[in-house]
Amino acid sequence: MADIVPYQVTLLSDSREPVNFPCPPNMSILRAAKNAGLELSAGCMQGRCYTCRSRLLSGSVKNSRALSRYATVDPADLGERRILLCSVTASEDVLIKPEGPWERLLKTS
- Condensed to tens digits (0 to 9), the pLDDT of residues 41-96 reads 988 877 778 899 999 999 999 988 776 666 667 878 888 999 999 999 999 999 99
Q: Of all residues in the chain, what percent are helix, strand and coil, respectively (each to 5)?
A: 5, 35, 60
- Condensed to tens digits (0 to 9), the pLDDT of residues 7-23 reads 999 999 888 899 999 99
Whether 108 is covered by a domain: the verdict is no
CATH of the domain at 52: 3.10.20.30
Structurally, the chain folds into a number of domains equal to: 1
Whether the Cβ atoms of residue 8 and residue 22 lie closer than 8 Å to each other: yes
Whether 107 is covered by a domain: the verdict is no
CA 74 to centroid of chain Cα atoms: 14
Provide the domain limits for residue 47: 7-102
Whether 1 is covered by a domain: the verdict is no
